[in-house]
Amino acid sequence: MDQIQDDREWSTQEPPYWLKPRIWLAKTLELVIAVVLFLWLPVAIVVSRVYKWVRSLLPWKRRRIVKDTVVVITGASSGIGECLALEYADRGAKVVLAARRENRLREVAEKCMQRGARDAVFLKTDVSKLEDCEKLINFAVDTFGRIDILVNNAGTAAVAAFEEYPNVPEFQKILDVDFWGNIWPTKFALEHLRRTRGQIVVTCSVAAFVPYPKQSFYNAAKAALLNFYDTLRIEPIGERVSITIALPGFVVSELTTKGPPGHIPKWWPMMETDEAAQRIVQAAVEEKRYIIVPYWYIFNLFYRTFAPELLDWPPRVFLLGKPPNKEIKMMCEMLLGEENTQKLFQKFTAFT
C-alpha cells in the first residue's frame, strides 16, 4: 500500500528540469543562435563595409549640405559647443545659439558672423527647464521658419563618488542637464526636423561605455543618451531624420580643465577642442552614425567586451589609490599589513 502511495506521489511531482522537453529545446536554440551569430559575424562585417562603400558612391548620400541651413546648438557659450558653432559658421549656416551665459553667447554669435555664418542669433536657455527648451525651438522656428539640424551639446558634471553626494537634488541636476537637456529639445524639434528631413547631432561621451570614477551620474546620463538615440534611429522617425552621435574622450574644455586636481592625470593626452569639433561636424556632414574622438578610445570597447577588468584596475590604482581588486588587497595585507598596503597604493596617485 505504501509502495502504491509513493508511486502516486512520484507521478504527481514535476520531473527534474533536465527531463523537461521545453528546457532541452530552449538550450538547443540558445546554442544554435550563438553558433549562427558567431559564424555570421565576419560576413556581417564585410556586408557592412560594402554597404558603406556603395553608399558613399551615391551622390545624393555623399554629404549633407550645410550652407543656408538652420542649426540650433545648445551649450554654445564655450568649449565644444562654441567650436561646433564656429565650424557650422565656416560652412555658411544660420546658427541659433543657446546657453545660460548671455554675454558669452553674444560674443560667440559675433565670432560666427565673422567666420561666415549667414546669420547668428542667440537665446539664453537653461536646458534643464522644460519651458526653456520649448522656447528655444519656437524661437528658432519664428526667426528662420524651420530647423534643419539640432545639435544637443549642453552638459555638466560633478566630481564626487556616489556616496559623497549630500542629497538627491545634487545629482538630479546632472541628469536634468545631461539627459533631459537633450531629450526635451529633441522632442520639441522633432516635427520640424521631420519636415526638413533634418539631422540630430548629439555630443555624448566615451563615458557611455568606459567606467570612470567619481562621475557616476555623468557616465549614467551619457549611457542613457547613447541608447536613447540608437533606439530613436530605428524607430519611424529614423527614416526621415539622421542621427550622428559624437563620443569624445577627454577634450580641452571647461569640464576637463576646471575639475579638481588629480581627477584627470596631468600626462593624459587631450585633444584640442577645435579639432574635435571639426571632426564631429565632418562626421555629421557625412551622416555617420558615430564619431569617436580621439579615435583610439575605440579600443576601450574591445577591453569592455573581452577584458573588462583592465578598465577597472588603472582608475582604482592611479586615481583612487586603491588595490585593483579584493584578492590583491588581501594578498598585500597578508604580506605588508593593512596600513602599509594603504600607503603603498596611495603613492600611485602621485602619477596623476
Least confident of 77-81, 107-111, 254-258: 254-258
Mean pLDDT value of segment 258-262: 65
The answer to whether residues 26 and 157 belong to one domain is no
pLDDT band at 49 (very low <50, low <70, confident <90, very high): confident
Residue 208, in any domain of the structure: yes
Structurally, how many domains does the chain consist of? 3
Residue 308 or residue 280, greater confidence: 280
The answer to whether residues 146 and 291 belong to one domain is yes
pLDDT digits (tens, 9 = 90+) for 177-213: 999 999 999 999 999 999 999 999 999 999 998 888 8
* One-letter-per-residue 3-state SS of the chain: CHHHHHHHHHHHCCCCHHHCHHHHHHHHHHHHHHHHHHHHHHHHHHHHHHHHHHHHHCHHHCCCCCCCCEEEEECCCCHHHHHHHHHHHHCCCEEEEEECCHHHHHHHHHHHHHHCCCEEEEEECCCCCHHHHHHHHHHHHHHHCCCCEEEECCCCCCCECHHHCCCHHHHHHHHHHHHHHHHHHHHHHHHHHHHHCCEEEEECCHHHCCCCCCEHHHHHHHHHHHHHHHHHHHCHHHHCCEEEEEEECCECCHHHHCCCCCCCCCCCCCECHHHHHHHHHHHHHCCCCEEEECHHHHHHHHHHHHCCHHHHHHHHHHHCCCCCCHHHHHHHHHHHCHHHHHHHHHHHHHHC
Q: Give the CATH number for residue 294.
A: 3.40.50.720
Given a cut of 80, whether residue 233 has pLDDT beyond it is yes
What pLDDT is attached to residue 206? 92
Picking from 57, 81, 107, the residue at the C-terminal end of a domain is 57
Given a cut of 70, whether residue 61 has pLDDT beyond it is no
218 is annotated as an active-site residue: yes
Q: Which of 218, 229, 297, 303 is an active site residue?
A: 218
Given a cut of 60, whether residue 3 has pLDDT beyond it is no
What pLDDT is attached to residue 138? 96
Residue 3, in any domain of the structure: no
Given a cut of 60, whether residue 85 has pLDDT beyond it is yes
The answer to whether residues 24 and 73 belong to one domain is no
pLDDT digits (tens, 9 = 90+) for 120-164: 999 999 999 999 999 999 999 999 999 999 999 998 888 888 888
pLDDT band at 67 (very low <50, low <70, confident <90, very high): very high
Given a cut of 80, whether residue 4 has pLDDT beyond it is no
pLDDT band at 224 (very low <50, low <70, confident <90, very high): very high
Residue 124, in any domain of the structure: yes
Given a cut of 80, whether residue 254 has pLDDT beyond it is no
Supply the range of the domain harboring residue 282: 63-303
Residue 4, in any domain of the structure: no
Residue 134, in any domain of the structure: yes
Q: Give percent of the chain above pLDDT 70.
A: 88
The answer to whether residues 238 and 200 belong to one domain is yes
**What is the chain's mean pLDDT, rounded?**
85
The answer to whether residues 129 and 232 belong to one domain is yes
Given a cut of 50, whether residue 10 has pLDDT beyond it is no
